[in-house]
Structure 1
Amino acid sequence: MAISRREAFAVALAGSAAAFVRPGEAAAATLPDWKRGFDNQRIADLGNGTFLNPLIAGDHPDPSILKDGSDYYMTFSSFDSYPGLTIWHSRDLVNWEPRKAALTKNIGSVWAVSLEKHDGRYFLYIPVKAKPNAIFVIWADHIDGPWSEPVDLRLPNHIDPCHAVGEDGSRWLFLSGGDRIRLSADGLSTVGEVEHVYDPWRYPDDWDVEGFSPEGPKIHRHGEWFYMITAVGGTAGPPTGHMVIAARSRSIHGPWEQCPANPLVRTTSVAEKWWSRGHASLVEGPDGGWWSVYHGFENGYWTLGRQALLDPIEWTRDGWFRMKGGDLSQPIRKPKGGSALPHGQPLSDNFGKPLLLGSKWNFFKPVPDEARRQRVEDEALVLKASGIAPSSSSPLLLIAGDQAYQFECDVEIAPGGTAGLLLFYDEKLYCGLGFDEKRFVTHQYGIERGRPANPYGRRMRMRVTNNRHIISFHTSGDGGETWKRFDRGMEVSGYHHNVRGGFLMLRPGLYSAGEGEARFRDFRFRAL
């Protein structure tokens, strides 16, 4: 049955009201709701002097934050998406705006980085998951670049670097597992060998965790002490696993004493709003108060990846600190001072300007010249075909941070081409709908599931609705005036790390495979 564009959107909006509530957790439905920003996306700032987590919705894991005068910069693990390591900017710690991507050369899957400024120069220390693992560094004299070519520090089998400067001016990289290595004065090479300097605090044996996995060390100097904040318990797995611990020393060289209140943050029940919370950094707010930024999975939404969270902290009389935000399910008073930037960005795109590669769109596992596949002309994104399916086509993807959303686009293919819209986790786990000039191509579980007849030929408008993991597709042959529901629905709550691995999220995107070029016009996104 064909329905109008307005009717279809009204149905989707009404259906999105059904919140995810686990059995026995009806109270979750009464949690406060978010304010809405670009494309109706949820934003943290409630506009009344408070904010509601997530700080930045969607997959923004392993936050590395830098206070630079009155400005704050933050970046996150970008894994196999390139351009990667988008720099986000804030002046009030709550509202964040993406700027430019710092890493354009594909050096592998990028994990938890360290963003630093030393002697007026910006540095990014970048661990890469490979065989063996490696750590690179890039630098720039301005936060927007240009950033240098990656320099291999030749540190195999180590991850999660954190740059630190000692009381004597020495520069160091602290590493996962309680290790460290000295850096040269310019920060672009290492000196000596890796040494073990810290044995992290251990949790009781009967706790449900993924594994010990001490990782993500962050070094902060405050007053007379150096503080080392570490994640243990595993990044994913059981919701109660990931946690934040701390130790301190009067010298960068140790010895390190454990915080008596460890763990400082831990999800203790699957009923909590945020799961697997950890990988924390400390930062001073614009009013002199102190905060912690870390990540967590949203209850019931592993598919959204690890989202950035903001937690107020309090320094205690004994020289330690504690987190004050509880399970982060309720609004929190904003830091005072600092001007608010527009939060986030529109995900809709009329392709009237060059593609925002890095700050909005990313290729998945691109080859070195992947960006040459795309160009924008006559208000259309022209994407050269690559591969034979989404798994081999290096699709263009977005990060969508809402529990329910809808996106649509006009798609035109060349003879021999196949193109369409996707919800993409990685090359082995995705779903979506594409078409060639004679047949549709349905994708589910990362495989082709069927090829029903295509009545529209080489051009149609397509819509995907993700209504809290329930997926539906609509197609239109008249530019979206009327829509027909496609005869295959899907459920994608299992498209996430605990099923597939990889630490990624389920992302909306576009693909072009086969032969020739596909043209995408009038891409519209709306959170529901």
Structure 2
Amino acid sequence: MTDITRRNLFKAVAASAVAVPLVRATRADATETCVPADPHWGHGIEDQRKADLGNGRYLNPIVAGDHPDPTVLKDGDDYYMTFTPFTASPGIVIWHSTDLLNWSPVATALHKPMGNVFAVNLCKYKDRYYIYLPAQRPGGDWAIFVIWARQVTGPWSDPIDTGVTGCIDPAHVVGEDGKRYLFVNGIRMVRLTDDGLAADGPLKHAYTPWHYPSDWVVEDFAPEGPKLLRRDGWFYLVSAVGGTAGPPTSHMVIVARSRSVHGPWENCPHNPIVHTRSAAEPWWSRGHATFIDGPAGDWWMIYHGYENSFRTLGRQALLEPMEWTADGWPVATGGDLSRPLPIPAGGKPGPAGFALSDDFSSNRFGIQWAFHDPRPDEIQRARYGGNGLQLAGAGHSPADSSPMVCRVGDRAYVAEIGFELSGDAEAGLLLFYNHKAFVGVGFTPDTIKTFEYAQELPWARIKRDNRRVRVRMTNDHNVVTFEYSHDDGHSWQLHTIRMEVSGINHNVFGDFLSLRVGLYSTGATPARLHDFRYRAIKGNPLI
């Protein structure tokens, strides 16, 4: 079909303005497709999937959606965990659990835009909590910053530059000498001052990691993600090699131990203790693990992985049981992670996740919403009050704006929102990865726009009054459909272009991100947003 024919066909369909029912073909048997059938997860708030099946067993992930590089702290009977925020601001959401299985957010630690923030480390030393975070200085070089608080829920300090440069993936440990150290990618180490706020010595080589056989299919050697713990007189250094994306078999977990943080380090004879060996497995590129003792004293690993056929969801948080051998080495015991596993013993179940639907009556930035890569002056673009949220404009389109984004963790879902436009305001609903990769629909006061794979389709514009409009997006296993309504959702018009988005992931567009629900606004007049609704779709794919 020529571009002219396609354009004329679209105009003819748009001009008809007749609502078309959404029709889907029945999917072929799951064994005949590369998309695996949905396992039977538990379903919680808004039918979002959750790990706890309610019968003494669980099914990964424990935190669904884009939650990479988990760092976990046990603090008495409580567990706290946070993840890489990348460019999201506010960022560094802290999650809480009492059973290692059910997690819910309780605080946001970083409220100042820091650019791209990579794998962070949450730890406690004496009576203070610390988060060590890599970010780029204004000059462009990477450095390790630190924030601290007396309560894990904050308030947290402003970021402090530790003076450790050219590093990511920090991990705090107290040595046998009582001194504080950071291990970083490489694997290198640096001593810290007693207050933990600055380097107190040079950065130096710490460990030459175990190397996999040369014929293994991986992305890169890339020693990274160190985590340390002390047990029975040994320091255990848990790290990742193989690259965090690329082929499904890339990432892996390796272990070494030493009597001293200064080495020498002895490699585990069972390395790698976690490794995806086939693209047929349910979880790919598994790595960046933290070892943690459970409520009953047994041991577990929390790490991230990509879901088979759903790289669009980013790297998700996984829980796997582990044991210690008689000679003091760890072994993973989860086996096939596509099947339910026994839950950690002795824990007290708590809430899992949170509702994504938002009436905009209270500020949910930092927990649910964040701006993608905002400038420092953009953090105040959202104003609460009255009937909804006013979102001031930025840029000229989603390609150069800082949209509000929300991470989701379901394979299929429906998201819906209302816009009120005045003046020259433009607003829209997106599935947003980065400025090079997004899809969605936008509304000016008199035009409907279509964004397909990061570009607007001028030939697909529809002339229509949009001063008040609701828009609904259905993402059904990576096939995306849009509908819009001009009578507050009583009747819906099917948008005539559907999009397939499984290729919008790191292996194509970089940045290690996920497809997030996005809301954008441009123009001199703010757009008013109201009544955001989210609902997961349960069951097998219908396409």
Structure 1 residue 129: deviation in Å? 5.1
Query: Residue 505 of structure 1: SS of its match in structure 2?
Result: coil
Residue aligning to 1:523: 532
Residue aligning to 1:111: 118
Residue aligning to 1:257: 266
Deviations 1:327-353 (A, max 9, x none): 41111111122222210001111122x
8 A contact 2:173–2:228 mirrored in 1 = yes
Match of 2:146 among 115, 126, 137: 137
8 A contact 1:435–1:454 mirrored in 2 = no
Residue aligning to 1:389: 397
Residue aligning to 1:478: 487
One-letter amino acid of the counterpart of residue 363, structure 1: F
8 A contact 2:87–2:114 mirrored in 1 = no
1:451-470 aligned at under 5 Å gives the runs: 451-470=460-479
Structure 1 residue 379: deviation in Å? 3.3
Deviations 1:200-242 (A, max 9, x none): 0000111110000000000011112110001000000000010
* Distance in 2 (alpha carbons) for counterparts of 1:482 and 1:437: 20
One-letter amino acid of the counterpart of residue 246, structure 1: V
Structure 1 residue 25: deviation in Å? 5.9
One-letter amino acid of the counterpart of residue 190, structure 1: A
* Distance in 2 (alpha carbons) for counterparts of 1:359 and 1:437: 31
Are positions 1:501 and 2:510 aligned together?
Answer: yes
**Which sits farther off after the overlay, 267-276 or 438-447?**
438-447
One-letter amino acid of the counterpart of residue 68, structure 1: D
* Distance in 1 (alpha carbons) for counterparts of 2:187 and 2:378: 38
Structure 1 residue 447: deviation in Å? 1.4
Query: Residue 73 of structure 2: SS of its match in structure 1?
Result: strand
Report the CA distance shift for 1:290/1:46 in structure 2 as closer, same or farther (over 3 A): same
Deviations 1:2-42 (A, max 9, x none): 569xx86xx7xx87x8599575668x43x631111111100
8 A contact 1:267–1:327 mirrored in 2 = no
Structure 1 residue 257: deviation in Å? 0.2
* Distance in 1 (alpha carbons) for counterparts of 2:310 and 2:403: 23
Structure 1 residue 392: deviation in Å? 2.2
One-letter amino acid of the counterpart of residue 353, structure 2: G
* Distance in 1 (alpha carbons) for counterparts of 2:331 and 2:433: 36
Residue aligning to 2:347: 338
* Distance in 2 (alpha carbons) for counterparts of 1:283 and 1:185: 25
Structure 1 residue 372: deviation in Å? 1.9
Match of 1:489 among 493, 498, 521: 498
Match of 1:76 among 55, 74, 83: 83
One-letter amino acid of the counterpart of residue 415, structure 2: F
Query: Residue 153 of structure 1: SS of its match in structure 2?
Result: strand
Query: Residue 424 of structure 1: SS of its match in structure 2?
Result: strand
Are positions 1:247 and 2:260 aligned together?
Answer: no
* Distance in 1 (alpha carbons) for counterparts of 2:39 and 2:400: 42
Report the CA distance shift for 1:509/1:171 in structure 2 as closer, same or farther (over 3 A): same
* Distance in 2 (alpha carbons) for counterparts of 1:191 and 1:359: 35
Residue aligning to 1:101: 108
Match of 2:446 among 434, 438, 442: 438
8 A contact 1:171–1:182 mirrored in 2 = yes
* Distance in 2 (alpha carbons) for counterparts of 1:416 and 1:456: 13
One-letter amino acid of the counterpart of residue 371, structure 1: I
8 A contact 1:55–1:310 mirrored in 2 = yes
8 A contact 2:191–2:199 mirrored in 1 = yes
1:23-422 aligned at under 5 Å gives the runs: 23=32, 28-29=36-37, 32-128=39-135, 131-352=140-361, 354-422=362-430
One-letter amino acid of the counterpart of residue 307, structure 2: E
8 A contact 1:437–1:454 mirrored in 2 = no
Query: Residue 67 of structure 1: SS of its match in structure 2?
Result: strand
* Distance in 1 (alpha carbons) for counterparts of 2:218 and 2:292: 28
Query: Residue 457 of structure 2: SS of its match in structure 1?
Result: strand
* Distance in 2 (alpha carbons) for counterparts of 1:515 and 1:424: 23
One-letter amino acid of the counterpart of residue 437, structure 2: L
Query: Residue 516 of structure 1: SS of its match in structure 2?
Result: coil
8 A contact 2:466–2:486 mirrored in 1 = no
Query: Residue 228 of structure 1: SS of its match in structure 2?
Result: strand
8 A contact 1:2–1:483 mirrored in 2 = no
One-letter amino acid of the counterpart of residue 205, structure 2: H
One-letter amino acid of the counterpart of residue 360, structure 2: F
Runs of 4+ in 1 over 6 A off after TM superposition: none
One-letter amino acid of the counterpart of residue 120, structure 1: D
8 A contact 2:174–2:180 mirrored in 1 = yes
* Distance in 2 (alpha carbons) for counterparts of 1:493 and 1:25: 12
* Distance in 2 (alpha carbons) for counterparts of 1:302 and 1:129: 26
* Distance in 2 (alpha carbons) for counterparts of 1:493 and 1:388: 27
* Distance in 2 (alpha carbons) for counterparts of 1:431 and 1:34: 28
The two structures have a TM-score, normalised by structure 1, of 0.95
Report the CA distance shift for 1:507/1:20 in structure 2 as closer, same or farther (over 3 A): farther
**Which sits farther off after the overlay, 262-271 or 123-132?**
123-132
* Distance in 2 (alpha carbons) for counterparts of 1:72 and 1:486: 45
8 A contact 2:63–2:103 mirrored in 1 = yes
* Distance in 2 (alpha carbons) for counterparts of 1:139 and 1:463: 41
**Which sits farther off after the overlay, 483-492 or 274-283?**
483-492
Residue aligning to 2:13: none
8 A contact 1:418–1:515 mirrored in 2 = no
Report the CA distance shift for 1:129/1:404 in structure 2 as closer, same or farther (over 3 A): farther
One-letter amino acid of the counterpart of residue 231, structure 1: A
8 A contact 2:34–2:309 mirrored in 1 = no
**Which sits farther off after the overlay, 119-128 or 149-158?**
149-158
8 A contact 2:299–2:323 mirrored in 1 = yes
Query: Residue 253 of structure 2: SS of its match in structure 1?
Result: strand
8 A contact 2:449–2:462 mirrored in 1 = no
**Which sits farther off after the overlay, 387-396 or 451-460?**
451-460
8 A contact 1:80–1:365 mirrored in 2 = yes
* Distance in 1 (alpha carbons) for counterparts of 2:98 and 2:296: 11
One-letter amino acid of the counterpart of residue 445, structure 1: Y
Structure 1 residue 132: deviation in Å? 1.7
Question: Number of paired residues?
Answer: 518
Query: Residue 111 of structure 1: SS of its match in structure 2?
Result: coil
* Distance in 2 (alpha carbons) for counterparts of 1:78 and 1:306: 12
Percent sequence identity is 51
